[in-house]
Each structure stands twice: as structure tokens, then as C-alpha cells.
A and B are shown apart, each in its own frame.
Chain A
């Protein structure tokens, strides 16, 4: 990646990751956020992860990819089960990779 573009990107990313991490901790509840804002914020993690997940397994080259040949889509179901049962990143990612490999060998 071109160095100037990279520096701009990293600079921006550092700012927007550092500030939300440090600010609440440093302000230490001196001022509470409005209840509605806290509620809205509390939905962000689930919303953003779902929004990221769906295209990563259901789209291919900008089109819906609903097919038995869509390995990621098939592997999603056993991976979800492992995630639900273990709630553990390591087990889920390793399990997901194994399912993906097995499915791509079988189909």
C-alpha cells in the first residue's frame, strides 16, 4: 500500500480506536451518558458483528450466493453450534477451519 495513504489510514485508525478506549476510563463516570445513548451503544456490538458476518458468508462478488457449493455458508452452521456451546474464540475459529476444510473436501 502506498506509504502516504497508509500513514493517513493508520493515523485515523489510531485516533478512533484510542479515544473510545481511554476517554470513559479517564473521565471515570464523572459525567454519566444519557440512558438512551447507553442503550443505543449497547446494541452496537451485536449489530455490527451481524452486519459484518452476513455478507462474509452470503455474498460473492457482490451477489447473493445461496448454494450448497458455498462452503462458508455450510460451515457456518456447525461453527455456530461450537460458538454457542463453548463461547470460546479459539475453539470456534479452529473448529470453523476444520469444518470448512472437511466440507470443501466432501462437496
Chain B
């Protein structure tokens, strides 16, 4: 008798797990993200191959690094002949914001078995974060929702970069032209999405001038790093005095 009751509970649990739509909702919510990744991923793949990576290398970078802006920046730096160390430092700075995204997501993904975190963390991007923050609250199983969302977006990114990378080998579109504007356009919209205060506008403007100044005075790609660090200090200074 007891045994059958136990099996019924077990069965209920299993049904509950199957009926829980968190994973499916996550997958569905990733579709607009994939749509956004397609042009950028294809452009990334093409640029990467045009600027000296093999199609396999370009795809491998998407597979292992999974960070759109950092990948595009690294391609620009490879083309400019930058040192590996400079590329890695730049990648770190471009992705420092993930610290903040990860910290705020941790409010929703608490007390999970430890092995979850490497997977959940790897899937954090600006886009998955933005979608998750607006939808995760209502989900029953938040980790399954984020896994569904993040992993689907990840597949979309790897797929679109592979398409761009392997297509280039057969259709030589060359570099230059409108493709070169994908990256600036993406920076424009990500920047606009980031700015929510007057201090941030001042920080961004200062960073623009500092970046140009250092680019015109110092060789290599250090202008980005120097401008970023200084501009962030300016932000702390302004907010500390107001």
C-alpha cells in the first residue's frame, strides 16, 4: 500500500516536471534573440574569415567564447596585428559588464546545486540577460527557463557565425562596404540601451574624446582600454560629488 502511494507521488512529480513549461518558454523567448544574432553572426563569420581566420577557427571562437562584441573587437585587433595579450585584455574589458549581469541574475538563480552555475553563467549575454530580467520572475523553474533561453540563443549564435564563415569561402564578398557598418551600428544600439542617467552620457562623451585622443597619440589598440578605465573613474567621481 505504502509502496504504491510512493510510486504515485513519484509519478506526480514526474508529470509536474513534464508539464512545467519553463524550458519550452525559454526556448520560445530566445527566437527574437536569434533573429538579432543572424545578421551580426553572419557578419562576424565573414569578417573573421576576411581578416585571417579559417572558417573553422571563426566558428570555434563562437563555440568557446560566445561573446559577440568581444569577438568582433578581437577580429578588428587581429587585422590590425595586435598582440595576443592586448586582445585578451580587451576581451576582458569588453566583457567586464558580465560581472554585473551575473550578479543581478544571481538574485533569481539562488541555492541551486553547484554544477548548475558554470552552465548558467556561460549563457549570460546582454540579450539573454535583458529577456530574462523581464520574464524570469513568472517562471516556476527559473534555472530551466534560463537554460532554455540561453542555450537556444547560443545555438543561434554558433549557427549564424558558421554560416557567415563557411559562406565566405565560396562567395567572396570582400571586406569593406556596408558590412563594415554592422559593428558600429551594434555599438550604437548597445550604447543607447546602456545609458539611463546624465552621468552615463557624460561618461560616454568623455570616453569618445579620450578614445580618439589616445588612438591619435598612442600606437596599438590601447586607446579603448585607457579611455574606458578613465571614463569609468570620471563617472565614479561625478556621482561621488553629487
Contacts and interface: CB of A to CB of B under 8 A. Distances in A.
Size category of the B interface is 35 or more
A14 B64 contact: yes
B231 interface: yes
A64 B207 CA distance: 16
B181 to A, nearest CB: 4
Contact of B210 (A1, A51, A95): A51
Contacts of B39: 90, 93-94, 97
Contacts, number: 284
For B73, B183, B191, B231, which residue has the most chain A Cβ atoms within 10 angstroms? Answer: B191
A41 B204 contact: no
B93 A44 contact: yes
Contacts of A55: 211-212, 215, 223-224
Nearest to B97: A45
Given A10-B61, A41-B100, A47-B207, A16 B91 contact: yes
A96 B183 CA distance: 10
Interface in B211-231: 211-212, 215-216, 223-224, 227-229, 231
9 contacts: A1-B53, A20-B102, A21-B122, A45-B194, A46-B203, A53-B188, A55-B224, A72-B184, A97-B181
Given A20-B98, A55-B212, 14 more contacts: A12-B88, A20-B96, A21-B124, A25-B109, A26-B118, A43-B200, A44-B96, A46-B203, A52-B211, A55-B211, A59-B215, A93-B39, A95-B185, A97-B39
Interface of B: 32, 35-36, 39-40, 52-54, 57, 60-61, 64-67, 69-70, 73-74, 78, 84-85, 87-89, 91-103, 105-107, 109-111, 114, 117-118, 120-122, 124, 127, 177-178, 180-195, 199-200, 203-212, 215-216, 223-224, 227-229, 231-236, 239-240
